[in-house]
Structure 1
Amino acid sequence: MSLVKSLSGSTAISALGTISSYALTILLARDGGSINFGTYALCLAWAAIMTTLIDCASDAAFTHLTIRKGDPQAAFDTIFTARLSVFLILGCVLSVARLADLIDMPWQTFLLLLPAFNFGVLFEYHRSNLSFAAITCAEKFLLLLCNAMLLSFFAFGEVVYASYAVVSLASLLAQATVYRRFLLRLKPAPVRETLSYVVSYWPLLTIALAQLGYGHLSRIIIQGKQGLEVFAAVSLAFQFITLASIFQSQVDRAFRPPLIEAMRQSNKESCHDLVGRYLIFATLPMAMGAALIFVLAPQLIHLIYGPEYQLAGQILREISPLFVSISLVRLTDLVLLSLDLIRQNLFVNVSVSFMMLLIMFSLSASSPLSLFIGVIVVAQFVQAAAGGMLAYGALRWRVS
């Protein structure tokens, strides 16, 4: 299947899943109100950070690790062992931190962590992105259906979090059925190999955490500065950015394997062709989406979520440029990973993200919300520019 067909097909299926996700967001926002929905969104933000840690950068690393080991089963064993180890350690540490009141993280967050053990790396490696997109689409639709039924009989509460956990488990079982041979042959990787994986790919994990600064850590700072209701409005606005990220995930899955292969073969023509196609089929649509969102943001928020979340319309307009920066940042990540410039990319990601979070943290609680949002947008374009210059120089001098 060609890149374009795979990308268009998986994106179309993911779009159906996105519709279900947005329908669920609308349902929960309208049913729960700004406080209950804000708590749910806060759990999702914490879960995203924890899931990124548990995932151990496996999406970005699996193909690369398989080439190194020459065996996808060995790579899967190593990654699964690393995920489980981090999950157990992280669960213990955060549980103690909660009990000691060191962090303000709702306990329901732990019910949202099952997706960290997804089998997406196997679907990507075997070029079965359409199948993975179909399973995740069904998962999102089932979650919407369950919540619509449960909220007809119960108040917004633990049933929302419990349904998330049950549906996530069902999705994992479906994914495991497709690649059960890997699960049946699974054996814990030796401690030495697991530590070697962490040492080799910790820059990728740090990059992923740095990128969380834009959508999750930054929102948690805003919640601490301006309260749960403002956090709820910011979270609703960032739901539209999630749409861009979902499309971008399909782009990454379609472009990562051939781009890594082309870079390793030092095929200059193929590399330039892939980058050009990326800009046409990924970045250009994102730019068009950003322009549309900028024009329609207030009306969209009012129509979808109601007048209670009017602030989210202003926020959405201000963050609409992130559609473009997300695409550009992920392109530079792919190119730099393919050229083994992981640590250089790490420096760019971490330094820009750290400065952004430091500036946001230093702002007073009385600062305008627009100032917090502006810091996020400017920071990501600075990162895109810095990573782009590094990637361009590497392509020019290292690929003949």
Structure 2
Amino acid sequence: MQKINLQNLLEKFRNGQIEPEELVLLEIWYLQWQPSPLKVEHEDLEIVKEEVWQSLSKLDSRPEKQRRWIGIAAAIIFLAGFLSLFYFAYHAKQSVKAEQALVKMKNHDFRPGGNRAFLILSNGKSIQLTDTKSGKIADQNGMVVSKTAKGQLVYDHSTNNSYRNEGSKLTYNTVSTPRGGEYQLILSDGTKVWLNAASSITYPVSFYGEERSVVVNGEAYFEVAHNQRKPFKVLTGNQEITVLGTHFNVKGYSDDAGITTTLVSGSVKIRNLTSSQSDLLHPGEQATVFKDKGAISIAAVNSDVAVSWKNGYFLFDGQGIESIMKMLSRWYDLDVDTHLYKRHDKFGGTFSRSSNLLEILKNLEQIGQVHFKIENKKIIVSD
């Protein structure tokens, strides 16, 4: 099939020299929406519109049948062509603007987060775990604190039972991650904890007494070691979680409206410390305790979304842009301004947490009507 010379056909159409069969070709091109690159400004659209009507007005001198055929074809071309030209012109401009904004961002270094955290011992000493070599870090109450070759923080109770000396005084350590950091630790009872960016966990070096209690700020995923005699409790803001042995995610950043707990397996008891209301959570359910309310809201969810960060990726499943940008800002250590974004679009997609930030932003722009630009180390979001 011969390639259509669009510019030539348009020129002949404007000059009133186009033949009926050429009108058909032009009509077919438009109705098939062939996205050839066009340099069409808004003023050109008005010219096309005017030329169509001028051409229609000159049809009186032609045979009636030909006038009717050309008139119908021209009307179709006008409607389809006018909208098509406007569509391509508008989106070409938007695409150029988006590309220009992303080019500017390439000059900035937005690296993904990594295994970064600080260990604050009970005596106040702070240890930067990122630069600490693997091996023994400290001795505390006979407990050996060490860093594994995989970068985990481990409390070794192989030679010291963490449940003995029940009358001993509890001493607490804290692990804290900055924006752009995450860390995994294994507590003295064998419980595994994954700590997300901009989060912290405070816990006893050894668990004495009738329960195991820790305090979390931010987000953490737990695989709790089962112990029927000693329930495991997680305190986050005005929420308390009680478990015996289970896998769950808890998220309660200071800028979140509420604290969410998502259960993967087992069962947990959620208690709102403001109202003392409590409820049981089952696998595949998510509880939300709002900071300014006494109620507990429970809903069935896809737990993969809540724990995706722990597995090394972002899973967006109907989230708004503000929620997504909060996650990205914590992981890529940047500030975000969304006040110019007035839409309520929902986004979906899966991205590796090791992805380049620009790749994620470009994909979001292709998914929905959203645009990004950079000022200093801040991402400005607009529609």
Which structure shows the bigger proportion of residues in helix conformation? Answer: 1
- TM (norm. structure 2) is 0.20
Structure showing greater relative contact order (alpha-carbon pairs closer than 8 Å, 6 or more residues apart): 1
Which structure shows the bigger proportion of residues in strand conformation? Answer: 2
